[in-house]
Each structure stands twice: as structure tokens, then as C-alpha cells.
Structure 1
Amino acid sequence: MIEQTLTVSRVERGIVWLVAEEKPACAGCNGKCGSQVFSKLFGSNKKALPIECNESVQVGQKMTLALDDSKVVENALWVYLLPLVVAFIAIFISHLILGASEPWQIFSAVIGGLVGFKFAKQRTKALRHDIKVIKIYPISLPLTQIDGDCAK
């Protein structure tokens, strides 16, 4: 299970919108590595994740969610592997069966990859993630006090 603690950003009729906190740069490079450069270039758009929740929560509360690992692997296989396999199949068909020249083989690989990506995108929309609420923290206490991570 993958667990993540998120903050409630808004609540609407049984749907809670959660936002992940930005991770600080690692201490090894003090923010001079490639990931920090890309973060500065492309900004830090925070995406809100909608979750159905029947419990009473307030804006600013922390919630810990868990996601089954198998769904992540299944989605990754569909999104990354299927377009590649369809592109290779398109190359083999265009070369071995149709006897096409190299530019047509490249073109068929691109078309095959796009078709595979379109199919994978439709397939992953049908997959449902089983996201479970593990813990809802009270708003009155900081998260570090609840978990016992206070520095002495």
C-alpha cells in the first residue's frame, strides 16, 4: 500500500478536495539538482484530488490515504507498455507484410504508438483506484504531535 498524508482544501456535499504538500529539496544538493530546476521552470501547480468522504472534516485538516500498489503497476503497464508494443507491431507489419520503406515504417510506428496510447488512455479511465482513508487527524493538534515526531 502506498500511503500519503494530504491536506483538506475544500469540502462540498460529501466530496473532500485534498492537496498534497510540496516536498522540500533534498539536503544533499540544497536544491541545485535537475529536479529542482525543472520544478522552478514548470512551476508548482497543486492538483486537488476529490475523494468521497462521509465523515465530517474541515478545511486545513490532514488525512492519510492509502492506494493499492497493484493498481499503480497495472496502470503503468497499460500506459507505458501498450503504445510501445503496438508501435513495434505496426513496424513489423509494415516491413514484413507490406514491404514498406523506412520512412513508411517510422510513420506506421508513430501511428501505432498513438493508437496504442489512445487505447491505453480509454482503458485506464475504466480502472478504478481503491483509495482508502486510513486516518483523519484532528485540526486542533499539529501532525507532529500526534505521530510523536517532535524534535526535543
Structure 2
Amino acid sequence: MIKEWATVVSWENGVAKVHCDVKASCSSCASRAGCGSRVLNKLGPQTSHTISVPSAEPLVAGQKVELGISESSLLGSAMLVYLSPLVGLFIMASLFQVLFGTDIAAMCGALLGGVGGFLLARGFSPALAKRETWQPVIISVGLPPDLLRTTTSSELSQ
């Protein structure tokens, strides 16, 4: 199970809306100063995601929850997104090369196959996303933010 912490935005009728921040995986690497991936991450938009997760337990805004998703669903969705355009590209490029015998035709077939594979993945993804096994679940719940109180040493001396 792949786990990630998220912050509750709201909870009503057994559904919690949670806010997940996107973290760059290269921030802890020893060679981050000269890394090209880090530069590309800085160029892109800093995104965050808000998703709905079923929760029988009432939650309050600001509360931390640990979300989990199975590895098989993550691998399945990655294969759908990345492999279907690649397979379409190779199949259609080969087919156009055999049928027409020119590199231009193979290039056009590759373009058509890649776009077709992308559209195929886009069409299948909503149906697959409805599967219960592909949905994130709440694994553990942190304390509500108003339950935990901290005091500093200057507050204790008063």
C-alpha cells in the first residue's frame, strides 16, 4: 500500500474532502544542485489536489489523515496511461510501413497510433476509476487541530 498524509478541508455525509500537496521526489537527493529534474520541477506549476474520500468517522477541517492506495491500482493506471499510446504508436507505425512502404507513412501511422492510444486510455480511465479497489482509503486519522495545544516557556513563566 502506498501511503500519503493529507489535510481535511471539509467533511459531510460520510465524505471527506482532503487536500494533498504534490512533493518533488528530488528534494532530498545529495546531487540536487546540479540535477536537471529539480530545475524542471521548479519551472512547472506547484500543484495540489483536493479529492473526496469516504469516511464514516466525523472529521474536522485541518485534521491530518493518512491515505492509502494499493500498488496494483497505481501500476495498472500507470500502464494504461503510458503503455497504450506507446503500443498504439508501434503498431500503427509498423502497419503503415508495411502497407505504404515509406518512412513518411510510418511517421504518420506512429502519430495516429500514439494519439489513438492516448484517446483509448482517456476513454477507459473513467470506467476504471469507479472501481472500489482503485479508490484511496483513509488508513489512520490524526488528532483534531484544536485538541492539541502547545505552550512556550514564556507562557509558563507568566
Give the TM-score range, shorter chain: 0.7 to 0.9
Q: Report the CA distance shift for 1:31/1:48 in structure 2 as closer, same or farther (over 3 A).
A: farther
Answer yes or no: is 1:66 the counterpart of 2:68: yes
Q: 2:39 — aligned with what?
A: 37
Q: 1:125 — aligned with what?
A: 126
Q: 1:111 — aligned with what?
A: 112
How many residues were matched structurally? Answer: 141
Gaps of 5+ in 2: 150-158
Shift of 1:53: 2.2
Identify which range, 68-77 or 11-20, moves more after superposition. 11-20
Q: Report the CA distance shift for 1:21/1:81 in structure 2 as closer, same or farther (over 3 A).
A: closer
Q: Percent identity?
A: 28
Shift of 1:20: 2.2
Shift of 1:13: 4.2
Which of 127, 135, 138 is the aligned partner of 2:140?
135
- In the TM superposition, structure 1's runs of 4+ consecutive aligned residues that sit over 6 Å from their partners are none
Q: Report the CA distance shift for 1:109/1:22 in structure 2 as closer, same or farther (over 3 A).
A: closer
Which of 89, 93, 116 is the aligned partner of 2:95?
93
Q: Report the CA distance shift for 1:73/1:34 in structure 2 as closer, same or farther (over 3 A).
A: same
Answer yes or no: is 1:2 the counterpart of 2:17: no
Q: Report the CA distance shift for 1:22/1:75 in structure 2 as closer, same or farther (over 3 A).
A: closer
CA contact (8 A) 1:5 1:64 kept: yes
Q: Greater share of helix residues, 1 or 2?
A: 2
Q: 1:18 — aligned with what?
A: 18
Identify which range, 132-141 or 113-122, moves more after superposition. 132-141
